[in-house]
């Protein structure tokens, strides 16, 4: 049986867990061409968030039994097409929770304390010593952290808030308008952890950003299309919002050009789960799930 792994993963993962199968490992820049070449006789696919597994590609894969996504989010996979075809879809929950929560706090602190500007000042050689009003940021102690999507990662972010003296308000994507309005109105820092679904796509648009607290900080380590990036860029440029920390983008890997010159924005290249330990655990989980389904066993983290 043949497994297409869309791009090289931290090893050992495919080398041991998929050793009973023929494994083809693609190149990061060769999707969807490699999918078109290898899916016609593939029994399993191990993609990452970078690769869109569309209905059109799935239609080329008559033998495909499983899409074992190397990620917790599965918005890159056409779940409906998989459901119709009886293709199992799995993800990698749990193993990336703490790493992603840590990175969320890295962004919160970096934006609140103007990390980028401070680092740039030192490197410019222009710093001439301590000044009482230099580069003042925002204190977190006593402020309110709003968590949109208090699932595994959102809850881990909320847990860390007590160490910083922050009060927490949460709103699930499925909660009614009252909870959502409270989240917008009360959060000094609002952090997004909901999955990307039709209900969350564009949830933070111009109107919602306008209802956030003046000077609030928005952080997104979930999925870019939950936030309207153009609206965010103008809310930041006008000073309506105090800053933003982004790890994900609406049209990844593109970033809205309006965000790039803003000093109060910290931008990372989708690094939420990027520790050696976590990325290896994700790769091993995904390969194990593919192998389980190919052996006729029930996977551990079935989405479809
Ligand atoms: C990464 O973005 C993931 O969903 O695991």
What percent of the chain shows pLDDT beyond 70? Answer: 100
Choosing from 193, 223, 256, 292, the catalytic residue is 223
**Nearest residue (CA) to ligand 1, atom 3:** 71
CA of 60 to the centre of ligand 1 (A): 25
Query: How would DSSP label each residue in 131-166?
Result: -TTTT-----TT-EEEEES-SHHHHHHHHHHGGGT-
Instruction: Tell me the average pLDDT across 65-81.
Output: 98
Please provide the average confidence, as pLDDT, over all residues in the chain: 98
Q: Using CA atoms, how far apart are residues 93 and 213, in angstroms rounded to an integer?
A: 32
CA of 255 to the centre of ligand 1 (A): 18
Provide the pLDDT for residue 260. 98
Q: Where along the chain do its domains lie?
A: 2-95+276-294, 97-267
The band of 295, judged by pLDDT with boundaries at 50, 70 and 90, is very high
2-95+276-294 with 97-267: one CATH topology? yes
**Ligand 1 pocket check for 72: Cβ under 6 Å:** yes
**Ligand 1 pocket check for 47: Cβ under 6 Å:** no
Structure tokens at 88: 């199992």
Tokens 């000093």 -> residue: 263
Active site residue 252: yes
Q: Are 165 and 139 in contact (CB under 8 A)?
A: no
Provide the pLDDT for residue 120. 97
Provide the pLDDT for residue 294. 98
Active site residue 270: yes
Q: Using CA atoms, how far apart are residues 181 and 241, in angstroms rounded to an integer?
A: 16
**Ligand 1 pocket check for 73: Cβ under 6 Å:** yes
Choosing from 114, 193, 203, 270, the catalytic residue is 270
In CATH, the architecture of 97-267 is 3-Layer(aba) Sandwich (3.40)
- In this structure, which topology does domain 2-95+276-294 adopt according to CATH? Rossmann fold (3.40.50)
């Amino acid at each position: 049986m043949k497994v297409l792994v869309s791009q090289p993963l931290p090893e050992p993962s495919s080398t041991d867990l998929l050793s009973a199968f023929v494994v083809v490992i693609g190149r990061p820049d060769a999707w969807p061409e490699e999918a078109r070449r290898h899916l016609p006789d593939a029994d399993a696919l191990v993609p990452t968030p970078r690769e869109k597994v569309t209905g059109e590609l799935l239609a080329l894969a008559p033998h495909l039994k499983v899409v074992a996504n190397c990620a917790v989010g599965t918005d890159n996979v056409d779940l409906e097409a998989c459901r119709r075809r009886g293709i199992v879809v799995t993800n990698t929950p749990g193993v990336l929770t703490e790493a992603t929560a840590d990175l969320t706090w890295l962004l919160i602190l970096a934006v609140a304390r103007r990390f980028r500007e401070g680092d740039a000042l030192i490197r410019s050689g222009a710093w001439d010593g301590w000044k009482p009003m230099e580069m003042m940021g925002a204190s977190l102690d006593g402020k309110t952290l709003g968590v949109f999507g208090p699932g595994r990662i959102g809850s881990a972010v909320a847990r860390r808030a007590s160490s910083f003296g922050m009060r927490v308000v949460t709103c699930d994507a499925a909660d009614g308008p009252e909870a959502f309005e409270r989240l917008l109105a009360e959060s000094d820092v609002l952090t997004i952890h909901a999955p990307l679904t039709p209900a969350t796509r564009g949830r933070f648009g111009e109107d919602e950003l306008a209802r956030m607290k003046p000077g609030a900080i928005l952080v997104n380590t979930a999925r870019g299309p939950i936030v309207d990036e153009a609206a965010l860029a103008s809310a930041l440029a006008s000073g309506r919002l105090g800053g933003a920390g982004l790890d994900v983008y609406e049209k990844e890997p593109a970033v809205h050009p309006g965000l790039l010159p803003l000093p109060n924005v910290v931008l990372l290249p989708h690094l939420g789960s990027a520790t050696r330990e976590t990325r290896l655990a994700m790769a091993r989980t995904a390969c194990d799930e593919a192998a389980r389904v190919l052996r006729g066993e029930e996977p551990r983290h079935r989405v479809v």
